[in-house]
Amino acid sequence: MKTWPQISIDTEKSLAMCFGCGPDNPVGLKLNFKWDNKTVRAEFTPNKFHQGWSGTVHGGIIGCLLDEAMSYTPYFEGIHCITAKMQVRIRRPALIDEPLIITSSITRRTRRLVEAKAAIALKDGTPVAESTATMFVIHSKQEDISGREGKA
């Protein structure tokens, strides 16, 4: 496959290499989320490298967009999480070269878990997909401040 980007098998382990948001990942989505103190938002236009069936975005890419958005919601509040459980509902196919709007917000938070919801829509508001997730808290800024576990 001569047209595929050549990357090292021993990739560096940094946020810049994240598949969803890393600006240095040559095959990543390069999502750039904005935060309004309640909701994260990003725009993404899939191309031919993101397709499953011809002209249609692969469901795994849809899932990745939703997962990344739900992870960013607690991240902007200083909480680092990993997804434990996620449910996705695809409401209509997303097409290649069709701009998508991805949004997410926290629906519930406990000391060890964050629950979030996310949605993907077209620019005109037409729903494409929605998701919910439960994420484990692995680190929070309150732990840094107090030197011990804080309420998340």
| 9 lies in some domain | no
Which pTM was predicted? 0.83
Contact 78, 85 (CB under 8 A): no
Taking the chain, what is the end-to-end CA distance rounded to the nearest angstrom? 46
**Residue indicated by tokens 């840094």:** 144
pLDDT at 145: 45
Query: If residue 63 lies in a helix (H) or strand (E), which one and from where to where?
Result: helix 59-75
| 6 lies in some domain | no
CA distances, 42 to each of 20, 24, 79, 99, 127 (Å): 11, 18, 19, 11, 15
CATH code for the domain of 75: 3.10.129.10
| 12 lies in some domain | no
Contact 22, 16 (CB under 8 A): yes
Please, which pLDDT band fits residue 38 given cuts at 50, 70 and 90?
Answer: very high
| 21 lies in some domain | no
Please, which pLDDT band fits residue 26 given cuts at 50, 70 and 90?
Answer: confident
How many domains does the chain contain in total?
1
Q: What is the mean pLDDT of the chain?
A: 87
Q: Which domain holds residue 114?
A: 29-146
Burial 111-121 (b: 16+ CB within 10 A, else e): eeebbbbbbbb
Please, which pLDDT band fits residue 57 given cuts at 50, 70 and 90?
Answer: very high
**pLDDT one-digit tens code per residue, 92-138:** 999 999 999 999 999 999 999 999 999 999 999 999 999 999 999 98
| 22 lies in some domain | no
Residue 1 pLDDT greater than 50, yes or no: no
d(CA 99, CA 44): 6
**pLDDT one-digit tens code per residue, 4-13:** 665 555 545 6
